[in-house]
Chains A and B, each alone.
Chain A
Amino acid sequence: NAGVTQTPKFQVLKTGQSMTLQCAQDMNHEYMSWYRQDPGMGLRLIHYSVGAGITDQGEVPNGYNVSRSTTEDFPLRLLSAAPSQTSVYFCASSRLGPDTQYFGPGTRLTVL
């Protein structure tokens, strides 16, 4: 099993550009989530999904969109990037609900 994979590993964007961060898992997990990690702030939940076709907002959802068309994939879209979105983004999955989470390696995003 590859576990949770994220692409790209690094990305630099200009203000106003859009992009999609990819996340995939091969463990047949129902629950998937996106976090951002900023220095001194720990991890903050952006969006999560309890199964295909079901998504909900976390603590800091503004500026981000998600969809869950399959069990395996949970992409995160930045509609119009802003410098405040410079961060490290982590995707995680679990079998069911906020139980033991399996994290991807992260995407380091810089918005200029």
Chain B
Amino acid sequence: SQQGEEDPQALSIQEGENATMNCSYKTSINNLQWYRQNSGRGLVHLILIRSNEREKHSGRLRVTLDTSKKSSSLLITASRAADTASYFCATDASGGSNYKLTFGKGTLLTVNP
């Protein structure tokens, strides 16, 4: 079963606008990660946030994590056409000897020039 679920499923914005995607998950986690996938390509790691962190930045990316609500958000500021891609969250559940990373179904972001 999917641990993480992204919302919305699809998002279309104009270049220069900000894009926000959300991820909800079901069980306690160690880490939450965000990945980008350009059409037909492999996934590329964007950012990892640990369960004891609340916010993390990387360039134009800002990730927040609310463990009480079991949710995370990815904000891309000043979007560019090159940001057009699918974005996935991935979690690894805490507890035991868990080595499994579970991905959500993704948000398809389209940035129109």
The answer to whether A43 touches B88, judged by C-beta atoms less than 8 angstroms apart, is yes
Known: A40-B105, A42-B2, A42-B88. A31 touches B99 (CB 8 A): yes
Total number of A-B contacts with CB less than 8 angstroms? Answer: 62
Interface 1/0s, chain A 41-55, versus B by CB < 8 A? 111110010100000
In the complex, chain B residues 33-59 whose Cβ is within 8 Å of any chain A Cβ: 33, 35, 40-45, 48
Question: What's the least CB distance linking B48 to chain A, in Å?
Answer: 6
Contact B99 A99 (CB under 8 A): no
- B33: which A residues are within 8 A, CB to CB? 100-101
Q: What residues of chain A lie closer than 8 Å to B88, measured between beta carbons? A: 42-43
Which A residues are in CB contact (< 8 Å) with B100? 45, 48, 58-59, 98
Beta-carbon contact of A42 and B106 below 8 Å:
yes
B42 pairs with A100, CB closer than 8 A:
no
B31 CB to closest chain A CB, in angstroms?
A: 7
Query: Chain B residues in contact with chain A, CB under 8 A?
Result: 1-2, 30-31, 33, 35, 40-45, 48, 88, 90, 92, 98-106
- Can you list 9 residue pairs at the A/B interface with Cβ under 8 Å? A4-B42, A41-B105, A42-B2, A42-B88, A97-B99, A98-B98, A98-B100, A103-B35, A103-B43
Interface, chain A (partner B; CB < 8 A): 4, 31, 33, 35, 40-45, 48, 50, 56, 58-59, 90, 92, 97-106
The 6 closest A-B pairs by CB, nearest first: A103-B42, A98-B101, A42-B105, A98-B92, A43-B103, A103-B43
